[in-house]
Amino acid sequence: MKPITEYQDFRKYMLDYYEERKRTSVFSWREFSRLAGFSSPNYIKLVCEGKSRLSKNGIEHVADAMGLEGVDHDYFCAMVHFGDAKSDEKKMQAFNEMQKIAKENRLRVVDAEAFQYFESWVNPVIRELAPIMPGTKPLELARKCYPVVSAADVRYALDFMTHADFLKKVGEDTYEQTEKVVTGSSEAIPLALRSMNRQMSKFATSAIDEVPPEERHITGVTLGMSENTYQWLVQKLETLRQQVVAMAAKEKEYDKVYRLNLQLFPLTKGKEA
């Protein structure tokens, strides 16, 4: 099996453990549940399928049944809290705990750098801005941002992105992008993206009053639509987003960094609600 810190989904980890045990020995869901102290022979299977949850004691029993100790035990417990958290705030706390456990034990969390990148709007802005301003000090980069940030924030972003290989330093205060597009695939990335979207939506609101109309394009329309039309429009918006990303990836000369928000959300409840 992969190291436990390469997982963010505790159910996937439990399922992989089960499959590995089954592949190398006589092992069943009944045996797995028995080892964890559950009377129901299919309880662990239901947990892996997302049809049931683990109690506080259940987490400990399952960890013991899988022979987890030390950092693996602690990481598994934090991973369960991450998977079961109902709010983004609780999820963020649990994921930060997962990263803390791994970092303290010099272990790698898959896509941890991508999570940190998407968590703050400063990172993508500086990643686009720094390459077109070679030799520029962090303070001047900070003054170019909207809204303005501190030089310390810019310096931190540059250090982080250089270390994480999102940027490459090619000279004194001079950077190049290692790739045109930053992506991540772990279960935690949507959490960071939601945080990013919240920040960017607030900036869009401020831009209505603070950015001249000729330097921005903010429009909207209120309309009724069926579920089929909604799905059609979502696909059109996703196609547009992909086309914009592809166009930007080919851009060789640019002098300003923009943010494109694509927002479609309900203003009323459906008839069934």
Select from 2, 9, 98, 5 the least CA-distant residue to 48.
9
Residue 252: what pLDDT? 80
Identify the segments of the chain with pLDDT beneath 50. none
Task: Note the pLDDT of residue 157.
Answer: 96
Please give the Cα distance from 199 to 217 (Å, whole number): 18
What is the residue type of 184? Answer: G
pLDDT of residue 111: 77
- Residue 84 forms part of a structural domain: yes
Q: What angle do CA 37, 72, 10 make, to 5 degrees?
A: 65
Task: For residue 126, give both structure tokens.
Answer: 């500086």
Q: Is residue 132 part of a domain?
A: no
Q: Which helix (H) or strand (E) holds 135?
A: none
Q: Is residue 87 part of a domain?
A: yes
Contact 259, 203 (CB under 8 A): yes
Please answer whether residues 83 and 10 qualify as being in contact, where contact means their C-beta atoms are separated by less than 8 angstroms: yes
Query: In total, how many domains does the chain have?
Result: 1
User: Helices 112-119 & 88-104, crossing angle to 10 degrees?
Assistant: 130
198 in any annotated domain: no
In a domain, 117, yes or no: no
* pLDDT value at residue 273: 61
CB environment 166-204: b (16+ within 10 A), e (fewer):
bbeeeeeeebeeeeeebebebbbbebbeebbeeebeeeb
Domain residues for 50? 4-108
Which pLDDT does position 55 carry in this prediction?
A: 94
Copy the structure tokens of residue 141: 């980069």
Backbone φ and ψ for 134, nearest 5 degrees, come out as: -60, 140
140 within some domain? no
Residue-wise DSSP of 164-224: TTSEEEEETTEEEES-S-----STTHHHHHHHHHHHHHHHHHHHHHHS-GGG---------
What CATH number is associated with residue 73? 1.10.260
Count of residues in the chain: 273
Instruction: Return the number of other C-beta atoms located less than 10 Å from residue 267's C-beta.
Output: 7
Task: Note whether residue 78 is domain-resident.
Answer: yes
Give the whole-angstrom CA distance, residue 97 versus residue 91.
10
User: Are the C-beta atoms of 150 and 142 separated by less than 8 Å?
Assistant: yes
Is residue 88 included in any domain, yes or no? yes
- The closest alpha carbon to 236, from 265, 262, 271, belongs to 262
